[in-house]
C-alpha cells in the first residue's frame, strides 16, 4: 500500500502521517513547505491548476486532509469563491488526476457542518441524512463531496467521505485550546448550567478510522460520520479537562438563556452556538459496516491533549 496524504504539516494530516508511518505504510506527503525527512514531500498548493501526476505515480490511495478551513472572522470579499478555489475546485482537480493515474481509492475529509450547525435536543445527525450547510466553508465541502461522487461514477475510482466533528489532541488550537487555557488558569467559567451534548473525536481515534477506510472493502463509495462515541456537555468537558490536568474547575451556573443572550449582545452568536448548542453524531454506520470502534476513550484522549501544557 502506497498512501498519498495531503496537508501533512497540518493538525490532522500530520498526526495521520505519524500513525501511518508507524504502521509501516509507505507514504508520500503534500505540504507547502518541505521540512520533513521521514518520507518524500510534494511541495504544492491545493488549487485547480496544480499538476499532481509526479506525486501520484504508484499511489494506491489518496487521503485528502488539506483544506481552507473555516475562519470565524473571514474578511475575504468573496469568501465563498475563496473556499471553493481550494476545497471544491482544488479537490476535484486532485481527484480527477488521481483517477487518471490509477489510484484505487480517494478518502476525503469533510465536515459535519455539511449536515448542519446544530442538532435538536435528543437527536443526532446520521450519515445519510439530508444536508444543510450554513456557511461558505461547509457549502464548499458539500460541493466537493458531490463532485467526487461524479468522479467515482465516471472513472470507477472509489471515494470515501468522512465528515468530522471537532477534532482534539496534542497541539489542538481554536476554541478547544482556549478551554484548556481557561481551566489551566483557574478562571471562573459561567458554564455550570450548560448541559448540552456535542460529539468530538480524538486525533488518535480519527487516524485509526481513516486508516481503516483506506482499504476496507465495505467503505467503498460510502459517507461516514465518526466520533469518540461519548457525547459531552460543555460543563462535563470542562470538568474532564480539569481532571486530566489535576486542576479544580470553577463553574458558575448562569441560565443558558441568559448566557446565550449575553453572547449575542457581544456579537458572539456563532461562538455561543458552538459552545452551548447541541451537535450529536450517530456513528452506527461506521460501526456496522466497518466493525470499527474507537481505540481510546475520551478521558484517554483528553489526557494526551493536555500533556505538556500543565507545566508551562
Cα–Cα dist 213/3, whole Å:
12
Parallel/antiparallel/unpaired status of strands 26-31 and 41-43? parallel
DSSP 8-state assignment for residue 90: I
Specify whether the CB–CB gap between 33 and 12 falls below 8 A: no
Task: Decide: 117 and 277 in contact? Cβ < 8 Å.
Answer: yes
What whole-number distance in Å separates Cα of residue 241 and Cα of residue 243?
5
What are the grid coordinates assigned to 34, written together?
Answer: 518541505
CB burial readout 208-230, b (16+ within 10 A) else e: bbbbbbbebeebeebbbbbbbbe
- 137 assigned to active site: yes
- Single out the catalytic residue among 42, 53, 83, 137: 137
Helices (H) and strands (E) in the chain, counts: 12, 9
DSSP letter at 84? Answer: I
List the catalytic residues.
Answer: 137
Amino acid at each position: 500500500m502506497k498512501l498519498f496524504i495531503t496537508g501533512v504539516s497540518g493538525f490532522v494530516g500530520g498526526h495521520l502521517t505519524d500513525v501511518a508511518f508507524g504502521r509501516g505504510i509507505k507514504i508520500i506527503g503534500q505540504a507547502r513547505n518541505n521540512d520533513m525527512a521521514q518520507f518524500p514531500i510534494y511541495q504544492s498548493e491545493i488549487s485547480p491548476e496544480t499538476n499532481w501526476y509526479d506525486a501520484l505515480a504508484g499511489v494506491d490511495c489518496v487521503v485528502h486532509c488539506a483544506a481552507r478551513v473555516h475562519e470565524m472572522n473571514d474578511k475575504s470579499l468573496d469568501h465563498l469563491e475563496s473556499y471553493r478555489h481550494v476545497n471544491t475546485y482544488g479537490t476535484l482537480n486532485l481527484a480527477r488526476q488521481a483517477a487518471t493515474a490509477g489510484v484505487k481509492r480517494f478518502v476525503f475529509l469533510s465536515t459535519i457542518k455539511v449536515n448542519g450547525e446544530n442538532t435538536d435536543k435528543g437527536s443526532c445527525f446520521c450519515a445519510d441524512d439530508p444536508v444543510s450547510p450554513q456557511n461558505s466553508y461547509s457549502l464548499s465541502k458539500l460541493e466537493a463531496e458531490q463532485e467526487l461522487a461524479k468522479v467515482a461514477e465516471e472513472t470507477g475510482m472509489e471515494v470515501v467521505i468522512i465528515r468530522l466533528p471537532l477534532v482534539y489532541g496534542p497541539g489542538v488550537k481554536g476554541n478547544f485550546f482556549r478551554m484548556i487555557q481557561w481551566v489551566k488558569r483557574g478562571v471562573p467559567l459561567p458554564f455550570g448550567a450548560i448541559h448540552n451534548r456535542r460529539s468530538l473525536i480524538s486525533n488518535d481515534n480519527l487516524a485509526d478510522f481513516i486508516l481503516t477506510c483506506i482499504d476496507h472493502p465495505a467503505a467503498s463509495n460510502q459517507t461516514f460520520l465518526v466520533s469518540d462515541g461519548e457525547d459531552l456537555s460543555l460543563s462535563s468537558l470542562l470538568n474532564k479537562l480539569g481532571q486530566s490536568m489535576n486542576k479544580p474547575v470553577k463553574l458558575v451556573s448562569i441560565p443558558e438563556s441568559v448566557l446565550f443572550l449575553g453572547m449575542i449582545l457581544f456579537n458572539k452568536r456563532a461562538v455561543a452556538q458552538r459552545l452551548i448548542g447541541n451537535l450529536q453524531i450517530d456513528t452506527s454506520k461506521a460501526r456496522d459496516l466497518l466493525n470499527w470502534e474507537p481505540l481510546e476513550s475520551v478521558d484517554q484522549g483528553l489526557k494526551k491533549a493536555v500533556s505538556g501544557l500543565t507545566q508551562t
